[in-house]
Amino acid sequence: MSDACGCGGHGHSHGAETAAAASAGTTTVAAPVITERREDQINLSDLAAAKVKSLLEQEGRDDLSLRISVQPGGCSGLRYQLFFDERTLDGDVVTDFDGVSVVVDRMSVPYLNGAVIDFVDSIEKQGFTIDNPNATGSCACGDSFH
């Protein structure tokens, strides 16, 4: 269950592609490669980590983290935001993935435990996807949860 809506955001979006809507065609997608899957926090696939590193190198920045949060809105009341951020907020949970720092605010942590951020680059779509075991429903823009 991958979310394709609401992956934009405020703050520093420095070239971070947003998840693209899936096409109507059926495609078999390989499972994301994850060095160590963590059920008690966010996960970043090896491909997504490499893409984030590449984007940061293009920007010439090494002081930014990839921030993911859950915000009010979307089809079922909540949506994802995925963006680069230089801020550190009180209560942030920071996880390192092969040199890529992923930050989740304390209010979003329970919604994102066990979720996997991956990067897809195919003819049908390109962008970051979120596979979240906490998502309970589906709508036209992807999976939503509340």
Q: What is the pLDDT along the chain (146 residues), one digit of tens a residue?
A: 444 334 443 333 333 333 333 333 334 455 566 556 666 789 999 999 999 999 999 988 888 999 999 988 766 677 899 999 999 899 999 999 988 999 999 999 999 999 999 999 888 888 999 988 887 655 544 444 44
**What's the whole-model pTM score?**
0.67
- Alpha carbons 34 and 97: distance in angstroms, whole number: 10
* CA angle in degrees (0–180, nearest 5) for 108-114-132: 75
11 and 83 in contact (C-beta within 8 Å)? yes
